[in-house]
Structure 1
Amino acid sequence: MNLLLKNVIITDPGNTYNGQKADLRIENGQITAIGELTKTDGEQEIDGKGGFLSAGFFDLNAAAGDPGFETREDIDSLIAAARAGGFTGVAVMPHTAPVVQSKSQVQYICNKARGGVTDIHPVGALSLEREGKELAELYDMRQAGAIAFSDGDRPVKDDGFMSRALQYLKGFDGLLMVYPENGSIAGKAKINESANSVLLGMKGLPALAEEMQISRDIFLAAYNEARVHISTVSAAGSVALIRKAKQEGVNITCDVAAHHLSMTEELLADFDSNYKVKPPLRGAADVAALLEGLKDGTIDAVCSQHRPEEIEFKNVEFEIAHYGIIGLQTVLPLLVRAGLGAVQIAEKLAAGPRKVLGIPVPAVSVGTNACLTLFNTTEKWRYDEDNNYSLSANSPLLGQELTGRVQLIFNNNQLYTNG
């Protein structure tokens, strides 16, 4: 298709046009001109006044229910939620039923998602059934399209197993993504350990459980000279550990979930299970440390940690409710709420995730295939059941007016606009 985007602010660090207002022409999926342009015959024109144009957003950590829990989220609904949230690419975790742990299962997801405006990239399970005992078919899954490997929301408990996995992954430059929790410290706690947990009369999950696991992961990454990505850090101590490791040359990266940047444990006062996430919401000091980690480059990317759940697993007592928030459509508003500017948003949602995965970052420049997200950081909109494209509704933000909206994405020579 042929498209003319008018009056957009190009947000692409290192680009000649970065920070400038310009028009951009796309012909047959390729950017052919940037500057002050006039509409031609057969060309669709969209006025992006007030919008920032960056490389397409990429999410490092989302979950679907397909296969096995399609009532929770299937591939089509995942893509619908992702494109509305501005994502042109999504890495999908393997905790489905059956677990995505073989070549054929990776191919199933790739084939089902093929042809959409949003690319879906399966993350293969590290271990069979995510039990941390026997390696899954890692190389075969890589050949079939797995972009990385992880046991999802289950930490790798066995130190020796993880060390051997890192050695094996080095053979084909595979990336291991780990969830940071020491289970013996965490126990069955549900919320952050603090004065707030005492006030609410609930067993607290200490930040120590996350920090101890991250310390272990750093040692193993350094010992094996391998790369490790730590998913969804949430505590100030974790940021400090990763910062020090990076300064010492350890090949380690990390991300943070958007909700951990603007939500704190005080929101649990009413025992709303839609705020029940793992890692748990922490305190204001942790949020401040996470934001500082984003600013200084310690934290490489922001993810959605999209976790759809049926109502019967959320509309129950807090203690027994499942963890998770649907987040693909609300990442941008949460980052705006947290005080991030357009350049930092583009860095942590578009460039950072791809650098973690070792894949090219699309450029907003002439002669490149267009992979773009146009977003507005001041536009207000109401998030409700009419524009929630997930099959699930477990978000505390539903029914709220939010600031920060994705206007459109363009990828694979396809255009999607939020009406």
Structure 2
Amino acid sequence: MNLLVKGITIADPNSEFNQKTWDVRIEQGKITAIEKSLSPAKSEEVYEANGAILSPGFFDLNCMIGDPGLETKEDIQTGTAAAKAGGFTGLAVLPTTKPVVQSKGEVEYILNRAKNNLVDVFPIGAISHDLEGKELAELFDMKNAGAVAFSDGSKAIQDDGFVSRALQYCLGFGGLLMLYPENKSIAGKAQINESKNNVLLGMKGIPALAEEMQISRDIFLATYHDAPIHISNISTAGAVALIKKAKRDGVKITCDVAAHQLVFTEELLNDFDSNYKVKPPLRSKADNKALIAGLKDGTIDAVSSQHRPHEIEFKDVEFEIASYGIIALQTVLPLLLQAGLDANLIAEKLAINPRKILNLPTSTIKKGEIANFVIYNPAKKWEYNVSNNASKSKNSPLLGKTLTGKVELVYNNNQFQKYEQ
């Protein structure tokens, strides 16, 4: 589909046009011209930027879609619709479905279901059979079928020897383990951050130690095997320090942080709103600052949505029995802008690095490239509400709130979707 974008500011650290305002022409799915001024041609749609930014299409490393088996939470159609509305042109979807994605059959099912979509969908296979941390899933077969990495979702694998064997096995075919960091013997059954706040609320707390001990173990194992490893959804200042040192020491480690961990803090739990119940738990303002600093200095490689859709009966209940997680694909961009990230850093952490981590092609804004981009207005205010929520679920504390930073157009696979400017 042909499109002319007029007067757009480009945010792409890999492009010679970075931070410049140009006209961009897209024909039949390719960028065919980037010039100071282009005249509209017949049969092409014209988009006037009006202060908007053009960035490579966002990519999410940590997204739950319930298909197969849990489609009442989210299916591929609604999940990709929410992704588009949030500026994402690529999703890596977790294996936490029913059945679990643990063999080539489930991988092929997801790839077939997601064909011909504007949003590219990439399956992540399970590390362990039924996510139990005891028996290796069919990693090699899943890799050959199209799995881009392996994860047990938000289930932390406690058996050190099992993780060691999985790392060693993956070395043989270039597999990547994405590990959730929580030492269960330290965390116990607690559900919120350990601090003065958990005492005030009368609830047991999960200490930062539980996350940091697990990351330390994973660093030791990655070092021992000289194997790459990815840590998903870090949340503490101590985690940032550990990974920063590991990178200096030459460990092949990458990590991501969920967007809400940059802005939300544990004080939001004072009203026991279960929509703020996430895993890892919301931490302190000091942790927020350390995580943002980690993004800026390169310690944290990427930002993820940690999209976790749930039916109302799993969230509209007492805090202690509510499920973990929020829907997040449509609100990542506003949270990153609220956290103070500039357009280049957003492009790096939300579009370029996620694809690099998974060894996928990265899109660049230049002539001759396949068009894969998002256009967003960083100053545009909009209300996130039930009518524009594209997810099948509604478990977000931001529903009904006015947000700043609006996605206006996404383009990928020779398709584009416009939203209200």
Per the TM superposition, whether the score is higher than 0.5 is yes
- The aligned amino acid for 1:167 is Q
- CA deviations 1:164-201 (Å, max 9, x no partner) are 11111111111110000000000000100000000111
Q: Matches of residues 203-282 of structure 1 in structure 2 within 5 Å? A: 203-282=204-283
Distance 2:2 2:314 in 1: 45
Give the Å deviation of 1:376: 1.3
Q: Secondary structure of the residue that 1:61 maps to in structure 2?
A: strand
- CA deviations 1:59-86 (Å, max 9, x no partner) are 0000011111111101110000000000
Q: Matches of residues 8-407 of structure 1 in structure 2 within 5 Å? A: 8-35=8-35, 36-407=37-408
Q: Secondary structure of the residue that 1:407 maps to in structure 2?
A: strand
- CA deviations 1:82-109 (Å, max 9, x no partner) are 0000000000000111100010100111
Contact 2:6 2:49 in 1 (8 A): yes
Normalising to structure 1: TM-score of the pair? Answer: 0.99
Distance 2:376 2:140 in 1: 37
- CA deviations 1:360-403 (Å, max 9, x no partner) are 21010001100111111110000000000111000000000000
Give the Å deviation of 1:418: 1.5
Q: Secondary structure of the residue that 1:375 maps to in structure 2?
A: strand
Distance 2:216 2:419 in 1: 43
Q: Determine the structure 2 residue equivalent to 1:4.
A: 4
Give the Å deviation of 1:49: 2.1
- The aligned amino acid for 1:4 is L
- CA deviations 1:305-353 (Å, max 9, x no partner) are 0000010010000011000000000000111111111111111100111
Q: Secondary structure of the residue that 1:219 maps to in structure 2?
A: helix
Distance 1:12 1:238 in 2: 28
Size of the aligned set, in residue pairs, is: 419
Distance 1:229 1:390 in 2: 27
Normalising to structure 2: TM-score of the pair? Answer: 0.99
- CA deviations 1:279-306 (Å, max 9, x no partner) are 0000011000000000000000000000
Give the Å deviation of 1:143: 1.2
Q: Secondary structure of the residue that 2:124 maps to in structure 1?
A: strand
Q: Secondary structure of the residue that 1:393 maps to in structure 2?
A: coil
Distance 2:376 2:43 in 1: 25
Distance 2:205 2:367 in 1: 53
Q: Secondary structure of the residue that 1:124 maps to in structure 2?
A: coil
- The aligned amino acid for 2:287 is D
- The aligned amino acid for 1:113 is A
- The aligned amino acid for 2:16 is T
Distance 1:408 1:165 in 2: 41
- The aligned amino acid for 2:132 is E
Q: Secondary structure of the residue that 1:286 maps to in structure 2?
A: helix
Distance 2:147 2:63 in 1: 14
List alignment gaps of at least 5 residues for structure 1: none
Give the Å deviation of 1:14: 3.4
Q: Secondary structure of the residue that 2:363 maps to in structure 1?
A: coil
Distance 1:275 1:160 in 2: 34
CA RMSD after TM alignment? 0.7
Distance 1:51 1:93 in 2: 32
- The aligned amino acid for 1:288 is K
Identical columns (%): 63
Distance 2:279 2:240 in 1: 17
Distance 1:376 1:156 in 2: 41
- CA deviations 1:132-155 (Å, max 9, x no partner) are 111111111111111100111111
List alignment gaps of at least 5 residues for structure 2: none
Q: Secondary structure of the residue that 2:299 maps to in structure 1?
A: coil
- Which 10-residue stretch deviates more, 7-16 or 211-220? 7-16
- The aligned amino acid for 1:226 is A
